[in-house]
Amino acid sequence: MTVLNDGWFTEVFQDQGTAFSLQVKKKLHEEQTEFQKLEIWETETFGNLMVLDGCVMLTSRDNFLYHEMMTHPALFTHRDPKKVVIVGGGDCGTLKEVLKHPGVEEAWQVEIDERVTRLSEQYFPELCESNTDPRANFFFGDGIQWIRDAVPESLDVIIIDSTDPVGPAEGLFALDFYRDCMIALREGGIIVQQSESPLLHTNTIIKTIHDDMKKAGFDHVRTLPFPQPVYPTGWWSCTMAGKEKPVVYFREEDADQRPFVTRYYNADIHRGALAMPQFMVDVLEDEVMSSER
Amino acid sequence: MTVLNDGWFTEVFQDQGTAFSLQVKKKLHEEQTEFQKLEIWETETFGNLMVLDGCVMLTSRDNFLYHEMMTHPALFTHRDPKKVVIVGGGDCGTLKEVLKHPGVEEAWQVEIDERVTRLSEQYFPELCESNTDPRANFFFGDGIQWIRDAVPESLDVIIIDSTDPVGPAEGLFALDFYRDCMIALREGGIIVQQSESPLLHTNTIIKTIHDDMKKAGFDHVRTLPFPQPVYPTGWWSCTMAGKEKPVVYFREEDADQRPFVTRYYNADIHRGALAMPQFMVDVLEDEVMSSER
């Protein structure tokens, strides 16, 4: 039986009976912040690695998949997003993607743990290169309260870029929070949330998000799967909903002619991500397949 | 540092600096066949696990992703597949998917290692339930030679369901083999091959497959990514090519109204899998995006 020695960082997903390991050169940083244990490792092949409370958050090598898919489908679904809020997203990777859209006038990153952002500036500078953009705004504090205090009908897109629905992020996977999002969104507004693994969580977390978003008044809810090698099963998703309109339509031509570089996202990938695996269709019982044609 | 104890099976991808582990109950079988070391494990959460030469081949839980994607895109791209050959595929999972298509008259599984099939019958009976179908034919021996000896223009679809391109499977990732496939295929014939991880192998194995298939006379080559949690990066692909026609078109209506159950595949997933991530488009420089519309 292979036993990994001290040269490896291993995350054990005990409930799921799986584990994922990255070969590491050294630990670059470790601290207990006000909210969580934060580690930064230098890996052999995935660049730098950020770990929160023992869970892999991101690596330099493959975070582009997650950050692009948390951002561009939502922003190209909205007809003209001007004000965008990221709840969580302390590593600034989503903020960077949002600010690639020239039409965005104001972007807020509302992260509870300022240390995540400070360490990201140091160890993931490529994700923070838009932090000095005059359109970028930072608030370090409670995202639930921030959304509750937002001026009604003042936001175009809300991106919920959080950790798993346990601990500090639990309240971000909740009906009350979605209701506050609904109030804060302008007409045509879009909400998008990271929604865990299709293989592991379709019947649980993803189904609950769909139900709760619908209860909060979002008529059309869709889950978009995408690859994310360092997360459990290597397969992740975001769930997107619109205040009024179906989210299966997007500005395809704008996506195709986007004036910025992406590594995963393009208009075809966006269209492709709107296709749900048959087992998800069966569980989520959406008006899915027919509305797409 | 977490060290996994004896309750885990771990596959270390040394070149890639990653490892994947499954919690196991017990080893059910181990033998050295004529070709490779074959292990069967009972896992805690992924059902049974087959391992060849230390590499995870499949688990009961997630093999449907791979087997459906190796089969249905190719068979719904061909206009009327009657004779299908699987090179490799000893676990019989691909054969089972092929035989779901009522129009298939004759299917061959050409596997070099008969022990893989015998152990699959014992430990993965659900994959072998079509082995007694009168249309199913088995040849245990060299797939390269079998294709070379095939009557020219006698096959409709060739599915290359092999291990990694090292050891016994190396000759299946080769120009000469693709040339023999070209000769063996009838007009309208389709070839499809498992083609490793988009994240890890786009610039190497996948690019070489594209180049070699084109050299062998297949004008239109496409790589379709799909999730596969137990393989490196959790993200895998198949590469498909047509003898004459572009493989971006398929029998969408037939796929939509397929008279059999699938868990991952549907017409939307097929269409979605034809979308390549931007970094793959950049490398493979296909006539990709435009031909799809």
**Can you tell me the distance from the alpha carbon of B63 to that of B230, in angstroms, rounded to the nearest whole number?**
9
Compute, in degrees rounded to 10, the torsion defined by CA atoms B209, B214, B220, B223: 10
Could you tell me the two tokens for A202? 């379709």
Task: Give me the tens of pLDDT residue by residue for chain B, a chain 293 residues long.
Answer: 455 777 999 999 988 999 999 999 999 999 999 999 999 999 999 999 999 999 999 999 999 999 999 999 999 999 999 999 999 999 999 999 999 999 999 999 999 999 999 999 999 999 999 999 999 999 999 999 999 999 999 999 999 999 888 877 888 889 999 999 999 999 999 999 999 999 999 999 999 999 999 999 998 899 999 999 999 999 999 999 999 889 999 999 999 999 999 999 999 999 999 999 999 999 997 544 444 43
- Partner B contacted by A266 (CB < 8 A): yes
**Is A180 a known active-site residue?**
no
Inter-CA distances, A290 with A200, A248, B255, B267, Å: 26, 11, 14, 11
Inter-CA distances, B223 with A108, A273, B140, B205, Å: 38, 16, 28, 11
- Partner B contacted by A235 (CB < 8 A): yes
CA distance B167 to chain A (A): 22
Q: Between A18, A62, A263, which is nearest B21 by CB?
A: A18
Q: Among A60, A64, A68, A25, which residue's Cα sits nearest to residue A270?
A: A68
Q: Among B243, B212, B231, which residue's Cα sits nearest to residue B79?
A: B243
Q: Between A3, A228, A277, which is nearest B3 by CB?
A: A3
Chain A residue whose CA is closest to B43: A17
Residue stretches of the annotated binding site of B for S-methyl-5'-thioadenosine: 36, 111, 142-143, 168
Q: What is the pLDDT of residues A236-284, one digit of tens each?
A: 999 999 998 899 999 999 999 999 999 999 999 999 999 999 999 999 9
Task: Choose the catalytic residue: A62, A161, A180, A212.
Answer: A161
DSSP conformational letter for A101: S
CA distance B8 to chain A (A): 8
Contact criterion met (CB < 8 Å) for A277 and B266: yes
Predicted model pTM? 0.95
Query: Cβ neighbours of residue A176 under 8 Å, at least 6 residues apart?
Result: none
Could you tell me the two tokens for B283? 């490398």
Chain A residue whose CA is closest to B23: A17
* Chain A residues with CB-CB distance to B271 below 8 A: 271-272, 275
Q: Between A6, A44, A263, which is nearest B1 by CB?
A: A6
